[in-house]
Structure 1
Amino acid sequence: MAQAGRRPGQTETREKILDAARRRFAELGYDGATVRGIAADAGVNAALLHHFFGTKQQLFTATMNLPVDPAVLVGVILDGPEELLGERLVRAFLGIWGEAASREPFLAMIRSATTNEQVATMMRQFIDKAVFQQVAAARGVPKVRVAGVGAQLIGFALLRYVIRLPPLVEASDEELVAMLAPVAQYYLAPGSFT
């Protein structure tokens, strides 16, 4: 049960919630961690957790230091003409990965997920719920198609930003959009497969 009475300062309370959430997500995965459990561990009530972070997804985003809220990103990608879906996706991806400040948390996450099964489980569950299920449902495509375009883009990011393969590093964003957008469009357009 959460304690009654005066709470510590906002920053301290926020950090206690983040610490409790990191522990719960690491121990139980994204699916297993609950807002009530996290709040109890932090010594606050669930309403205060919602006040600071909103949803469980937004709390997870904060604990992982993600530079972008996946719900907002999915909305941006899906909003607009269907024939430009692939282009919007690639431009959003390049925008995030093109800036060192937003690229670093994603690189840290990928490195952690490849060496730590708990992190991999958290990321797998989160990406499936926050991104793949949302996009697949909105586009009317199987999740494997959404996962396929995700795999393609992550592979591209590793080659361009980690390995620094010269042709990809030297290419302009416009060249990359022209090359990658049709592939993304193919994966996400319901009529592109049978």
Structure 2
Amino acid sequence: MSRPDAGAARPASPRRTGRRPGNPDTREAILNAARKAFAERGYDATPIRAVAAAAGVDPALVHHYFGAKEELFRAAMAIPVDPAELVPRVLAGGPAEVGERLVRTFLTVWDSPAGVAAVALLRSAVSNQWTARLLREFLTTQILRRVVAQLDLDPAEVPLRGALVATQIAGLAMMRYVIHLEPVASASPDTLAATIGPTLQRYLTGPLDAA
């Protein structure tokens, strides 16, 4: 039997494309450090270098695995949706009906398969202080801030307006997805958008004084 030609070229192995998955232990160390830092300091006050230092890695490695700080935050939160893609839907068509569109967009995400992770996060936030802080940071910096930044609002009123909207959204989420209060739990997104949306609209653009 003849032996194969030792000099024959071997088939080239397929080249890998995209970002390498990296070491799972390193990735998890970065995520754990990020969750702690974001919960303790808040999103704005947490630089990538602080997360890297807490995880014992170079900041470049954090960027390699997760990209920008916003992407790291979403990974730490295990949020399967990108607010940068959702917020334009809320703002499309001008500010007059942004309250209804905010409710409808929120329900569209939470009623989808992607909403399973969001509901789990909400349940955890009820009993876990760290998760509650992370959820608060996500709502305020990734969603509400993006929305109110496009509205012509008095900067002094923005924190209160954003907090009022958050109370309505969080309450709706609890009643619909955790407590399952009927008929809210089974109502259509259009029904809830039409009934709750005007309240959010007032919180966002209406007068806040008692009169």
TM-score interval for Structure 1 and Structure 2 normalised by the shorter chain: 0.7 to 0.9
Q: What pairs up with 1:1-194 in 2 under 5 angstroms?
A: 10=22, 12=24, 13-26=26-39, 28-99=41-112, 101-141=113-153, 142-189=158-205, 192-193=206-207
Amino acid at match of 2:168: Q
Count matched residues.
184
1:157 and 1:126, CA in 2 relative to 1: closer, same or farther beyond 3 A? closer
Structure 2 CA distance for aligned equivalents of residues 193 and 29 of structure 1: 29
1:193 and 1:58, CA in 2 relative to 1: closer, same or farther beyond 3 A? same
Q: Deviations over 1:124-167 (max 9, x none)?
A: 34433333333333213322122212211221221122221221
Structure holding more helix per residue: 1
Larger radius of gyration: 2
1:56 and 1:173, CA in 2 relative to 1: closer, same or farther beyond 3 A? same
Tell me if structure 2 keeps the 8 A contact 1:53–1:59: yes
Question: Greater shift after overlay, 159-168 or 135-144?
Answer: 135-144
Structure 2 CA distance for aligned equivalents of residues 193 and 97 of structure 1: 30
Unaligned runs of 5+ in 1: 1-7
**Aligned structure 1 segments of 4 or more residues deviating by more than 4 angstroms:** 26-29
Tell me if structure 1 keeps the 8 A contact 2:83–2:143: yes
TM-score (norm 2): 0.72
C-alpha deviation, 1:94, in angstroms: 0.9
